Every structure is written in C-alpha cells, then in structure tokens.
C-alpha cells in the first residue's frame, strides 16, 4: 500500500478511521473486575483491530488512548495506564514494525516518565519509514489544547493575520501531515466527542456502536465501515445529480 495518493473523497473505504476506545471500565465492572482489568482487555484488543484495519486497506488509524483530562483520574489508575503503555511498546512494536506499521504520536509527552518518553520516541523512529498502515496514538492529547498550541506557535512565528486560513491553521496542528478522519467510531454507545480531534472532525462521519471497546471485534468494525459506505458525504454542499 502507498500513502502518497489519496482515494476519492467519496471512496467507500475510509482512508482514515479514528476510534475513541470507550467502555473499558464498564466492561470490567459488569464482570465484577477492577477497572484496570478492563484497560488490559482493551489493550489486548488493539492487535485484532489494527490487523483488521490494515486488511481493509485503511491507511490511517488514530486511537484516543489518553486525554489531557484523564490526568484527573485516580493516581493509581494513571500509573496503571502508563505501565500498560510501556508494556505494549515492549511487546508489540517489533511485530508492528515487521508488519509495516508506522507509529505516530499526537499530543504531549510531558507527564510521562523519561524512560517512557524515550520508549515512545524510539518506537516512532524505528517505524518512521513504514507505509502499510499509519497508527496515530493520541496520548496526553486534547482537541482544545491542540488548537491553543497551534495559536501559540503561530504567534511565535509572527504570522500575519491576513495570511491565516484553514490551510495555514491545519499546518500548525499536531496532525499537519495526517489527513482528516473520514470515520470516527466511539464504542460503548456514548455519544460525545470528548475533546477529540476538534478541528479535524468537522466533516467526519460518526458512528456510536453500543459494544464496549474490549468486545469491539472485526465484525463490529466491518459493520461500522459498511455504515460509513452508506453515508452521503456532501461536505457542506449538495448531493450530485
């Protein structure tokens, strides 16, 4: 697969799918398990979904793993999530690299230990030339924070106000080299955007399957892609005759 040429904007297969992986805690609670058991089950599900995404020919997969607001969670849960991220990198990155996956991070590495920051950077460097699928990890990420960060960079660069347009603003986003999502999936049935890709998803198609993330499998993914294919994407215009 090459990522140099984008499919038609009306392609039936989305070029970029973004997922809010919601419902880990409720999945565990319904089974009488601690919340971390749900997060671990959700992490185990990543391998299945990444392979299914690649098989469908989807070029970009963005995963909302940890938001800027998640720092308000209990310290023990935050520590557990950081430990899981470290384990996933250690366990999965070599295989992902062998399968042609490229890892991209959006957000901030601030707040992570220096050891974990180094692991993330090393994984990005190892996979930087891969082209089969791009896995975008939104970790310590928030949509409003991203916009504020972009504005600060524009001010630091002394951008002329008359030059500001959508293209320029997009250039200053964390996702400058990444196409906007065609399809956003939020598992668990909750219908909120939760500060996710605020700028980039204005014309994305949103789907809210009721299944919790640990149970979101290849069949559920195919249902979402099939629903996307039935949507009429007009991007603010009118349907063609």
Asked if the structure places residue 163 within a domain, the reply is yes
Asked if the structure places residue 235 within a domain, the reply is no
Residue 10 scores a pLDDT above 60: no
Over residues 34-40, mean pLDDT: 96
Q: Which of 4, 70, 145, 163 is catalytic?
A: 70
Binning pLDDT at 50, 70 and 90, where does residue 111 land? confident
Asked if the structure places residue 238 within a domain, the reply is no
Query: Distance between CA atoms of 201 and 120, rounded to whole angstroms?
Result: 26
Asked if the structure places residue 23 within a domain, the reply is yes
Over residues 9-33, mean pLDDT: 91
DSSP code, position 75 = H
High-pLDDT (> 70) share of the chain, %: 93
Whole-number average pLDDT of the chain: 93
Query: Distance between CA atoms of 159 and 163, rounded to whole angstroms?
Result: 7
Q: What pLDDT does 212 receive?
A: 98
Per-residue pLDDT reduced to its tens digit, 186-206: 999 999 999 999 999 999 999
Per-residue pLDDT reduced to its tens digit, 39-95: 999 999 999 999 999 999 999 999 999 999 999 999 999 999 999 999 999 999 999
Q: Does the annotation count 163 as an active-site position?
A: no
The residue segments making up the domain with residue 105 are 16-230
Q: Which of 22, 145, 180, 182 is catalytic?
A: 22
Asked if the structure places residue 5 within a domain, the reply is no
Asked if the structure places residue 105 within a domain, the reply is yes
CATH of the domain at 166: 3.40.1180.10
Asked if the structure places residue 241 within a domain, the reply is no
Asked if the structure places residue 239 within a domain, the reply is no
Q: What pLDDT does 235 receive?
A: 74
Q: What pLDDT does 139 receive?
A: 96
CA atoms within 13 A on the CB side of 98: 5
Structurally, how many domains does the chain consist of? 1
Record the pTM. Answer: 0.91
High-pLDDT (> 90) share of the chain, %: 90
Q: Does the annotation count 70 as an active-site position?
A: yes
Q: Which residues make Cβ contacts (< 8 Å) with residue 4, sequence separation at least 6?
A: none
């Amino acid at each position: 697969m090459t990522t140099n040429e984008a499919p038609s904007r009306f392609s039936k297969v989305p070029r970029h799918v973004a997922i809010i992986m919601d419902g880990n805690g409720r999945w565990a609670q319904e089974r009488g398990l601690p919340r971390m058991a749900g997060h671990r089950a959700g992490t185990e599900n990543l391998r299945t979904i990444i392979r299914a995404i690649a098989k469908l020919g989807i070029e970009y997969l963005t995963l909302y793993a940890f938001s800027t607001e998640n720092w308000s969670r209990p310290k023990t849960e935050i520590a557990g999530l950081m430990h899981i991220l470290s384990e996933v990198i250690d366990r999965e990155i070599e295989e992902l690299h062998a399968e042609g996956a490229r890892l991209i991070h959006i957000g901030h590495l601030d707040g992570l230990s220096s050891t974990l920051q180094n692991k993330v950077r090393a994984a990005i460097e190892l996979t930087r030339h891969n082209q089969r699928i791009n896995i975008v990890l939104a970790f310590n990420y928030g949509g409003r924070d991203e916009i504020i960060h972009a504005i600060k960079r524009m001010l630091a660069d002394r951008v002329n106000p008359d030059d500001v347009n959508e293209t320029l603003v997009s250039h200053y986003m964390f996702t400058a080299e990444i196409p906007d999502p065609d399809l956003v999936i939020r598992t668990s049935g909750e219908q909120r955007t939760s500060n996710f890709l605020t700028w980039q998803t204005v014309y994305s198609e949103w789907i809210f399957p009721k299944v919790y993330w640990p149970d979101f499998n290849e069949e559920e993914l195919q249902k979402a892609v099939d629903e996307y294919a039935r949507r009429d994407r007009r991007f603010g215009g009118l349907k063609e005759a």
